[in-house]
Amino acid sequence: MKILPVLTIIPACAGTFLLAGFMLLQPVRVSADCVQTELSDPPRQAFTCSPGFVMEREPSAAITIKERPGDAPPRAIELQNGAILINVVPGSRATQIRTPEAIAAVRGTVYIVDARAGETSVFVLEGEVTVTRPGDSSVFARVNAGEGADVSKDSGIVVSRWPQDRAVALRARFGR
């Protein structure tokens, strides 16, 4: 019998949940609206929240999920490090992905957010994502499919069409 590492969400305070690792044999219901399953090739976890929101998380990604009451996607996901892939069905309520350097928000698209020491990258596979800096929503960029945005502590938001090798390497971390 194979034991798979999974995460569960532990209430931290009203509407906020922290992820903590432990071992289980099957998918875990992590809240009223989110179910977690293990994926392979490469190993990662998928969180299906409400009918229109799926997030894939690298094993090394540290996240906090901030829930909404009822049958709705999370209000926000705080990503401290690592990468997550977001798939939001058009017409769903917006979820913000927050890192120390950037905030990515969208309704209806597929994109990856990668946070590492002092820098965040957002790559859009489908649709369009708006990227802002925490504390200053007046500075923003729209990032379209095939484009990426790089945000660091010392620079603004730099949007460009990523070289194919960079885009392929990031997508491969999620088996795409």
Residues 26 and 118: their CA atoms lie apart, in Å, by 36
Residues 146 and 128: their CA atoms lie apart, in Å, by 10
Q: What is the pLDDT of residue 7?
A: 39
**In the predicted model, is pLDDT for residue 71 greater than 70?**
no
**In the predicted model, is pLDDT for residue 4 greater than 90?**
no
| Average pLDDT value for the chain | 80
Q: What is the pLDDT of residue 31?
A: 56
Question: What six digits make up the tokens of 14?
Answer: 């009203």
10: domain CATH number is 2.60.120.1440
The total domain count for the chain is 1
pLDDT tens digits for 30-59? 555 678 899 999 999 998 887 788 999 999
Biggest CA–CA distance in the chain, Å, is 53
C-alpha pair distances (Å), 138 with each of 78, 119, 133, 135, 156: 21, 20, 9, 9, 12
Cβ atoms 123, 111 nearer than 8 A: yes
Residues 113 and 120: their CA atoms lie apart, in Å, by 7
Cβ atoms 73, 95 nearer than 8 A: yes
pLDDT tens digits for 77-92? 999 999 999 999 887 7
Question: What six digits make up the tokens of 160?
Answer: 């460009």
Q: What is the pLDDT of residue 21?
A: 39
DSSP one-letter code for 67: -
Give percent of the chain with pLDDT exceeding 90: 51
Residues 66 and 15: their CA atoms lie apart, in Å, by 6
Outline where the chain has alpha helix (H): 164-172
Q: How confident is the model at residue 70 (pLDDT cuts 50, 70, 90)?
A: low
Q: Span 9-22, mean pLDDT?
A: 39
> Regarding predicted confidence, which is higher, 40 or 22?
40
Q: Span 138-143, mean pLDDT?
A: 91
Q: Span 48-72, mean pLDDT?
A: 82
Task: Give the pTM.
Answer: 0.80
Rg (alpha carbons) of the chain, rounded to whole number: 16
Domain limits for position 116: 4-172
> Regarding predicted confidence, which is higher, 75 or 22?
75
Q: What is the pLDDT of residue 9?
A: 39
